[in-house]
Copies of this chain bind each other. A is one copy, B any other.
Amino acid sequence: MDDKRDKVVALLEETGLIDRLGFVLRFAQSRVWSDLVTAFEPFGLRPGHYSALLMLRARPGCRQQDIGEALGVQRPNLVAMVEMLEKRGLVARAVNPADRRSYALNLTDAGLALLDEMDEAHRAHEARLAAMLGPINPAVLLPGLRRLAGFGEEGDA
């Protein structure tokens, strides 16, 4: 059953695609993201929901907009997401007295509890990634990926 994979790898070598960072990055991301999606499926949530909950744990009372900026999600696309989290009782919107057009978002107790479970699922996900990487330490990849993502390392260009 590895025949198909070997055939694909051979083709990628012939085309040279296997040496092109952009394309390999895309293939890797696709596979890793799939694993992350299935990791969170038991909770009925997706990776985006998880990262939003992480935001709310780190910054209680923040606005929808803050989440959008950190995660690179447009305002309109956050509406359904936050609405869903609220309907499931994981997040509460409180009126913000200082600025009455935005809500102050907070995790509920149920949200915090679920987030702990999701953290566990995420740890299992990272263990699977480590298995995929075999002898390669994930820490070898992170600095380069952060730079490609535009998160400069300690303030240099």
Q: Which residues of A contact B (CB under 8 A)?
A: 4-5, 7-9, 11-12, 14-33, 35-36, 47, 51, 54-55, 57-59, 66, 69-70, 72, 122, 125-126, 129, 132-134, 136, 138, 140-152, 156-157
Copies of chain A in the complex: 2
- Once bound together, how far apart are the Cα atoms of A41 and B144, in whole Å? 26
Neighbour of A72 across the interface among B20, B27, B132, B133, CB < 8 A = B27
What is the chain B residue whose CB lies nearest that of A122?
B20
What is the chain B residue whose CB lies nearest that of A70?
B11
Would A140 and B144 count as touching, CB distance under 8 A? yes
CB contact under 8 A between A147 and B136, given known A51-B23, A66-B11, A122-B20: yes
